[in-house]
Amino acid sequence: METIVQEKDTNKRIDIFLMEQEDLSRSKIQKMIETKMVLVNHHETKSSYKIKEGDIITWEEYTEEDMNIEPEDIPLDIVYEDEDVLVVNKENGMVVHPAPGNYKGTLVNALLYHSKNLSDINGEFRPGIVHRIDAYTTGLLVVAKNNKAHEHLAKQLEEKTTYRKYVALVWGVVNTDTGTIDAPIGRDSKDRKKMAVTDVNAKDAVTHFKVIERYSNATLIELRLETGRTHQIRVHMNYIGYPIVNDPVYGHRKLIDDSGQCLHAKSLGFIHPKTGQYMEFTSELPTCFQSIIRTFKGEDNL
């Protein structure tokens, strides 16, 4: 469903506005917002957002179901932990947080089992989650164990002071040793489930890359993010003609196997919210990624 905000509704909270549109309780509306069932101008929003004239609000019809998120004893690769933060090396295929139709097996389910102390700023579906990576992207995430730590880390992300380095294998031979992609990203007008480089309802997005190694028809690259848009690396590399190998959405090539896209969040650096000290962590490429690299090194006919 979709509506355009009229002048008479300007400055209303979006949850209150939607209560007027749908015969639903405020708590259910807020859960819809938390689980990204509500978009403003094709972007995620918060319950506290005050709507403006001309805003395009879209929402999915609410389906009543069990919304409880249960702790699950799922092994976690914890790189670092103290009373304020936790750094985890996420495995391939693990969704970060629950969403409608997918309430089990996520990183959040595992975190709830591991720790009773997680921030609740992002609501009950995303306790502790400060930032995300895609299900089939592997690598490092920082989790906040209290609200003060969460606010501090979120501010660093907003001010672009965190350090995030990725490694990716892309189709094609990248000729330049380094490069910067500065292209805004927004919702794909033809497919709302995808993102695209666009000037319509988009946000600035900047990705820096450096070549690590070239093969006959692929390139191993290192990437550093200035911004953190949804699917940013995948969209940007596809935009310049070098899509991520094994990417089922933006790859435009047959999948080599079902091990997930060749994109790994290798390094993560931030200022500790309590001590003020800079901390940086690194992780090795997962076995599935290394296996595909070996395939490219040994076979030129892919």
Considering the candidates 77, 134, 188, 247, report the single residue annotated as catalytic.
134
3-state secondary structure at position 274: coil
CA distance 193 to 188: 7
Q: Please confirm, yes or no, whether 134 is among the known catalytic residues.
A: yes
Nearest to 40 by CA among 27, 48, 49: 49
Q: Are 216 and 207 in contact (CB under 8 A)?
A: no
Whether 143 and 85 have beta carbons less than 8 Å apart is answered as: yes
CA distance 11 to 15: 12
Please name which of 229, 284, 265 lies closest in space to residue 94, comparing C-alpha atoms: 265
Strand 191-197 relative to strand 185-188, pairing: antiparallel
| Residue 223 to residue 233: CA distance in whole angstroms | 8
Active-site positions? 134
